[in-house]
Homo-oligomer: A and B are copies of this chain.
Amino acid sequence: MAEKFISDRNLKFLMYELNDTEALLKYPRFADHSKDVFDMILETAMKMGKDIYKPLFEEMDREEPQYVNGEVKVHPKVRDVLRSAGEGGWIASTFPYDLGGQQLPFSVGVFLPTAIFGAANYSAVAYQGLTHGAAGLIVSYGTQDMKDTYLPKMITGEWQGTMALTEPQAGSSLTDLTTTGTPTDKGYYLMKGQKLFISAGDHDGCDNVIHLALGRVKDAPPGIKGISLFIIPKLRIKEDGSLEPNDVNCAGIYHKLGYKGTPITQLAFGENEDCRGWLVGEANKGLGYMFQMMNGARIDVGLAAAVISSAAYYASLEYAKERPQGRKLSGKDPLAPQVPIIEHPDIKRMLLFQKAIVEGSLSLLYQCGLYEDLEHVTEGEEKENCNLLLELLTPVAKTYPAEMGILSCSAGLQILGGYGFCEEFPLEQLYRDIRIHPIHEGTTGIQGMDLLGRKMSMKKGKAAQLYLAEVRKAIKEAEGIAELKPFAGKLTEAVALLEKVTAKQFETAASQGPEMFLSDATVYLEFFGIIAIAWQWLRQATAATKALAKNPGENDANFYSGKLAANRYFFGYELPKIQALAERLLNNDGLTVTMKNEYFED
């Protein structure tokens, strides 16, 4: 069984060498913390990942949740994990002190545990991640009464939080939600509706489940303008503090390809006309509120994908170093001993591919984490800029790690050959687990339309301009380093192509309307994503080159040299892919808009 699943050395590189996370300490919100605190959090999370999350990685998959007599039974250790997360302060890490939190930056208090625990065991960390997200909505938009009622038990991990959006007729199309809340004169709404695919929507590893659910106040306007956010507890809290059933029923769970340790549930609200929901914030503004959680969840999904890929990378690296097979092509004496497969260029190529995807994705995600932190503590234009950059990059930071992570895990599996396909090694599970990520929290198709259809033209294109300025800043810095000039040159060309391709898409929008404009939005997202990761690799290569110039010790020198190798890999093998995508995006002939459905018949 592979031991290593994530590199704390690399996380430190992201925190302190590539980025200046310490700079956050100057803001009053984070003023009580220090680099020592950040380091301790990293260290503690690494220890918990190894001791608590990793040992359950296989078990939670093999002993998947069961639906028995209307109840969802999960692995008995889920309760312990969730409680230990609560007790360790991980669920409320970013919340204010007065709500039981630690006022940590997202890039430390959420990024690190999500990355480390997720690399060790994604299914196990999903429970607390969802609770953090749901509780975060209450922190932001709930009344004091709601905070008092729900937060104390959520942040200890006693109560599970969920985000309940999807309905049978409304998956990607939130417009079509029909869950309805009828007002009463008692301050609550009587809820009725069904929800599907709700992660951790019910289970016996907690004492209650608090659903942050989208629905409509009765007679609300149609479409997304009539969507409201409700708190719907599984068990409602009586005056005396005791719990009673709230007519929330779990109708079943899904058996699925991977991510098996977390139950995905079907829920029914109000089958007996006795389901109470409490409106969060104003009526009809629910989608806006929920976007806070969704945006966070999208970053979390990208991060989960990146770190599942990290676990796959280290497992295949370990195997490649140990497994003897074949000989160097330059000396094929059959009597010579076999070499470890890492000596074969094709294996090294697959390892570099994984390293480039994993560390490139983590770098982009960490950048997003910092934008999120800065957005919260800065003011005025700086705040707006951070918000715009985060909004723009969220679909990319969700999708690139998810889509490329699948290929990355697949490459890891391939390195193990037949063993990769077998249960004795973690690759087959990681390959199954990661496949959910391009689907949940908005499919890749939805992310593509979000990026091209919404984000690129946001504030008259200001988000896009800010982004290009960031990329150019990185190029300029790299241009000053002789070894990196060729890479800076390639990224300069890529940026020019990005501008050309983007302009073409908006010309299409103007001349041919939205259907044609967005018909290749997924291709555009892929194109955009590769360039964004090239940007992050150039930044990493710049930091690594500078660090190498200072003659570090052997371990560090290897680490930085690895960064430069992965950078060469990315620019040599991955970045050229934008040419093919650009060719399509510049020559969209409308095939997918005009082709008749009947042509698929035969």
Contacts and interface: CB of A to CB of B under 8 A. Distances in A.
A531 to B, nearest CB: 13
A233 interface: no
A411 to B, nearest CB: 10
Given A418-B440, A514-B330, A352 B592 contact: yes
Contact of A576 (B338, B439, B584, B595): B584
Nearest to A514: B329
A439 B427 CA distance: 14
B572 A345 contact: no
Given A443-B417, A602-B10, A422 B518 contact: no
Contacts of A599: 558, 561-562, 565
Contact of A519 (B7, B346, B578): B346
A410 B404 CA distance: 12
A357 interface: no
Contact of A569 (B170, B417, B591): B591
A347 B521 CA distance: 12
Nearest to A341: B172
Max chain B CB contacts within 10 Å: which of A349, A449, A559, A589? A349
Contact of A173 (B325, B342, B584, B595): B325
A515 interface: yes
A153 interface: no
A288 interface: no
Max chain B CB contacts within 10 Å: which of A257, A413, A422? A257
Max chain B CB contacts within 10 Å: which of A444, A598, A601? A601
Interface string A317-330: 10001001111111
Contacts of A224: 334
A334 B223 contact: yes
A255 B166 CA distance: 34
Interface residues of A, number: 112
A320 B577 CA distance: 29
A115 to B, nearest CB: 15
Interface stretch (A118-126, A275-283, A428-436): A428-436
- State how many copies of this chain the complex holds: 2
Contacts of A257: 421-423, 428, 431-432
Chain A binding surface, main DSSP class = helix
Contacts of A422: 254-257
B559 A602 contact: yes
A572 B584 contact: yes
B324 A561 contact: no
Contacts of A449: 346
A298 interface: no
Interface in A298-350: 317, 321, 324-330, 332, 334-335, 338, 342-349
A171 B519 CA distance: 45
Contacts of A349: 519-520, 522-523, 592
A405 interface: no
A414 interface: yes
A84 B495 CA distance: 61
A172 B326 contact: yes
B326 A173 contact: yes
A414 B175 CA distance: 21
Nearest to A257: B428
A592 B346 contact: yes
A346 B596 contact: no
Contacts of A578: 580
A182 interface: no
A107 B348 CA distance: 39
B444 A421 contact: no
A421 B589 CA distance: 32
Interface string A580-602: 11011001010111011111111
A568 interface: yes
A176 interface: yes
Nearest to A224: B334
A7 B449 CA distance: 33
A333 to B, nearest CB: 8
A515 B328 contact: yes
A420 interface: yes
Contacts of A332: 175
Contacts of A444: 414
A581 B572 CA distance: 10
A526 to B, nearest CB: 11
16 contacts: A173-B326, A175-B334, A257-B422, A257-B432, A330-B515, A343-B597, A346-B449, A347-B445, A418-B440, A421-B436, A421-B439, A555-B601, A572-B584, A576-B579, A576-B584, A579-B579
Given A224-B334, A257-B423, A418-B440, 6 more contacts: A173-B327, A176-B334, A342-B600, A347-B445, A406-B410, A558-B596
